[in-house]
Amino acid sequence: MSRLLVKGAWRTDADGAVALAGQRAEAGQFRSVIGGVEFPAEPLRYHLFVSYACPFAHRTLIARALKSLDDLVPISVVHPRWNTDDGWQFGDTPLSTPDRSGEGFTHLHQAYTASRPDLTARVTVPVLWDTLTRQIVNNESLDIVRMFDDAFNAVKRSEISLVPLGDRAEADVLAARIATDLSIAVYKAGGAPSQTAFDEVLDRIFSMLDELEDRLSDGRVYLMGSDLRLPDIVAFTPLVRFDAVYNPLFRISRRRLVDYPRLSSYVRRIWEIPAVRETVRFDHILAHYHDGDWGVADRTIIPPLPEVDFRSTGER
C-alpha cells in the first residue's frame, strides 16, 4: 500500500493502480517560475520546504547556500522518518523544524491540498511556497535550482553562476543524463520488480560512474572544468549517499564510491566547500533510509559479487 493524495484526500491504503497514477504525476505538478509578473523576485516572499535526507531536495539546499540566499528564502525542514501514516511531518525536534512559512502546517501534504484541493499525487520535497498568494510555486528540484541561480540576482548579486548562458546547453544535457542514469536509477534498482530489470539498471548506474570517473581523468576540478556547475550539484547528492545508503541498502554493490579514486576525490572536494558541507546531514540521511521503509521491492533479486580480487597478495 502507498501513501499519497487521491482527489485531495490523504490516503494510506492506496492500491497499486492509484499509486502508479500518483507516481507518474510525481514530478512537475507545479512548474511556475519566479521572475515574472505572477511571482516576482522579492526578499522573504518565498519559503522552501525541504528534507536534508532527500537527494532531490538537497540540490536546492546546495544552490541556496552557494548563492547566499539564506536571508532571502527561509526554509522549514520535515522529519527524515517519513514512513508515518501522515508522511512528511513538521515539528520542533532535533531532526525537523515547525512550519515557518506562517501557515502552521503540521504535514507537508497540507501544502499540496492548500494549493490544489482536488490533487492526486505523491507528496514530495522540495516545495517552493509563495507566502503571499499561499500556494506552491514549484516542486521540481532542477527548476528551483535554476531559479535560485538567476531569479534573485537583481535583489542580491552573486559571483557564482551555476548555469551560465554560454554553458547552458551542455550543462542541461549532462545534468539530465546524470539525473536519469544515477539519481533516479538508484531508486529503480531498489524498486526493481525482477532480476532482469535490476541487472539492466545496475549496468546503467555503473556505466555512468565509469563515465564520470573518466571525465575527471584530464585533471579538471569539476565535471565541466574549473567552476562548479549544475551537473556537479546533480552528481554530488547521490554520490555523497552512495556508500552509506545505495550500495548496502539498494544492493548496488558491484563497486563502491571509494573504488573510484577520481570520483572520491571529486566528492570530497565539493564537500569541503563550507556552504556545501553545511547542507550534508548524515544524521538525517541515515535515519531516513535505514530507519524507514526503504526495503528492496523483491527479496529474490541477487546482487552482483563485489569486484574484489581475493587472490591478490597482501599482508597475512
Enumerate the active-site residues: 54, 187
Are 57 and 72 a contacting pair, CB within 8 Å?
Answer: no
Question: Which are the contacts of 164, defined by CB distance < 8 A and separation ≥ 6?
Answer: 229
Taking the C-alpha atoms of residue 121 and residue 112, their distance in angstroms, rounded to an integer, is 9
Say which amino acid occupies 151.
A
Report which of 251, 252, 259 is spatially closest to residue 309, judged by C-alpha positions: 259
Half-sphere exposure of 81 (CA within 13 A, CB side): 11
Are 117 and 109 a contacting pair, CB within 8 Å?
Answer: no
What is the DSSP secondary structure assignment for residue 93, as one 8-state letter?
Answer: B
Taking the C-alpha atoms of residue 228 and residue 235, their distance in angstroms, rounded to an integer, is 11
Question: Which are the contacts of 199, defined by CB distance < 8 A and separation ≥ 6?
Answer: none
Neighbours of 60 (CB within 10 A): 32
Report which of 61, 62, 55, 34 is spatially closest to residue 138, judged by C-alpha positions: 34
